[in-house]
Amino acid sequence: MDDLEKHRWERLLRWLSEEHGMDVGESAFHVEAREVPGAGRGLFATRDCPRSTTLFKVPSTALMNKKTVAKLYAQLRGRRLSGVLLVSLHLLLHKPLGDEDSQDPVFGPYISTLPRDFSSHPLSWLVKRDTQEEDAWERVALSLLPPSTLRKLSVLHDRFRADWQILRRVLEEDASVVASSSRSDISLVSSPENINELMMDFLWAWLNVNTRCIFWRIQPTLSDQDNFTLCPVLDFANHNSGHSHIFPVVDSDIWGGVAKKPPKYFVFFGPSQGAVSEGQQLYLQYGTHSNAFLFSEYGFVNDFPEGAVASGAYAGEVDVHELVEELFAQKALLGSRLKEVLTDEGYWGDWTVHAAPAPAHPSYRLMVALRLLEAFENANETGQASFDAIVGQWRQVTYGQADNISMQNEERWRTTLHRMCSQVVERARTHLALLSNASCTGGTSGWHRWMHLNISVLWQEELEVAESVMASLEAGAEF
């Protein structure tokens, strides 16, 4: 890290210690931030840690979440803003200017350590497209994304736009909120340029929340959308698809009892299965996410060595929603009726093919959908009695009361899956060829080249997974 970043890290530790009473001494704090090429900064062990070592404990007063931030905005209590909105609003109002530190008297030293720039995040390209401010590189990059990645990104974009609309209203209607900002440059003069600038600042805040938050229970209901926090120090940890070295203690027995109060510290253990060595990067597994998800939500992918998909060493997957949806659409009115059946039974969408565990296979949801589609053979319409009878047969198989609709149906859906995988292979080859033509996405800076590579990895995964599933089908594998 450069001197400025080192200074910010040290200031963060001083703030945690002096303002929040966190123990950052050698006996209780065993991590440090370092630069990681291609991943910004990461967390590293500062000494050998035996299994289950407590790596560090962050006082809950230093966390940024709905509970700690809402206290600062009593005037907004009636608006029932989500945790994402409140925390993003606070970041927006105290965003550091240029290379300066954040002037927020409450969380300033923490906010100063957050990434300053999200130009490489694909959501930035989409948001810039809304205002015709995207550059040629971004336009081409968006056009080269696999369809399912673009869909995931669009869903994220919708979430962002909805939050921005709410926040804009809050800023326009409540002058005291803007007045509480520590920024000298914030302005709500409603010129289109000002509003777009403010939206990009909000994007910076929102992406910091979206890429750095972690589950933290502040509401009694486990699935409450506000059960998350930003956590200083921990949020320097990068993701690894294989294993995690950091284990957050996320739930407390207190919740089972009457006290219903979050714990005083957010505690992070090292692995219980083995020691970590001094200098080792400590990863946090963000979840078992596909590369398409990591790319759209976090702006990076897990790379994999050539052949790792075919050997099953890398659990690649492809979301084939668009291709399946198209098959139902081709059945015109019958397709709509079948969509209704699948939706009612909870099987519409989320259709994937997987490389591992061997044999490479379709997801159960995909088999269920294809069985129904092929049960009607080439028909585009059918009478109600025959429709009900066929759907009845399909239900028996789906509920496990029969092995199959017919051997012919099994043959048909496997053939359709094979054809679909071959389409995936073909479009992946086309896009990899386009991507290898440097002129089409050859940006100038480091992150352009890195994102170019990430997009290639997405297509390479599509290619290798689809080829593996085709090989399984050709070998007659049972799924």
| Residue 248 binds ligand SAM, judged by CB under 6 A | no
Q: Is the dihedral of CA 403, 405, 410, 413 positive or negative?
A: negative
Question: DSSP characters for 168-231?
Answer: HHHHHH-HHHHHT---SS------HHHHHHHHHHHHHHHHHHHHH-EE---SSSTT-TT-EEB-
- Residue 333, H or E segment: helix 332-344
End-to-end CA separation in angstroms for the chain: 49
Stretch that binds ligand SAM, among 157-165, 231-239, 312-320, 387-395 (CB under 6 A): 231-239
| Residue 238 binds ligand SAM, judged by CB under 6 A | yes
3-state secondary structure 141-175: HHHCCCHHHHHHHHHHHHHHHHHHHHHHHHHHHCH
Within residues 109-128, the interface with ligand SAM by CB under 6 A covers 115
Q: Which residues contact 165 (CB under 8 A, 6 or more apart)?
A: none
Of the residues 163, 201, 226, 235, which one makes contact with ligand SAM according to CB under 6 A: 235
| Nearer to ligand SAM (CB atom), residue 9 or residue 351 | 9
Within residues 135-164, the interface with ligand SAM by CB under 6 A covers none
| Residue 4 binds ligand SAM, judged by CB under 6 A | no
SS3 401: coil
Give backbone dihedrals phi and psi of 13, rounded to 5 degrees, phi first: -65, -40
| Nearer to ligand SAM (CB atom), residue 114 or residue 420 | 114
| Nearer to ligand SAM (CB atom), residue 36 or residue 471 | 36
Stretch that binds ligand SAM, among 60-68, 135-143, 222-230, 294-302 (CB under 6 A): 294-302
Of the residues 4, 39, 155, 402, which one makes contact with ligand SAM according to CB under 6 A: 39
User: Do residues 180 and 186 touch, judged by C-beta distance below 8 A?
Assistant: no
- Give the total of residues touching ligand SAM (CB under 6 A): 16
Q: Is the dihedral of CA 284, 286, 292, 296 positive or negative?
A: negative
| Nearer to ligand SAM (CB atom), residue 30 or residue 212 | 212
Tokens of 463: 């290619």
Stretch that binds ligand SAM, among 2-10, 56-64, 232-240, 312-320 (CB under 6 A): 232-240
Of the residues 298, 387, 447, 479, which one makes contact with ligand SAM according to CB under 6 A: 298
Percent helix, strand and coil across the chain, each to the nearest 5: 50, 10, 40
| Residue with token string 């398409």 | 292
| Nearer to ligand SAM (CB atom), residue 412 or residue 452 | 452
CB of 291 to ligand SAM, least distance (A): 11
**Residue at shortest CB range from ligand SAM:** 40
Q: Which residues contact 360 (CB under 8 A, 6 or more apart)?
A: 312, 353, 354, 465, 468, 469, 471, 472
CB of 402 to ligand SAM, least distance (A): 45
- The Cα 8–Cα 13 span in angstroms is 9
CB of 231 to ligand SAM, least distance (A): 9
Stretch that binds ligand SAM, among 19-27, 40-48, 341-349, 412-420 (CB under 6 A): 40-48
| Nearer to ligand SAM (CB atom), residue 181 or residue 302 | 302
Stretch that binds ligand SAM, among 79-87, 251-259, 293-301, 411-419 (CB under 6 A): 293-301
Of the residues 65, 148, 149, 211, which one makes contact with ligand SAM according to CB under 6 A: 211
Chain residues in the site for ligand SAM (CB under 6 A): 38-42, 115, 211-212, 235-239, 298-300
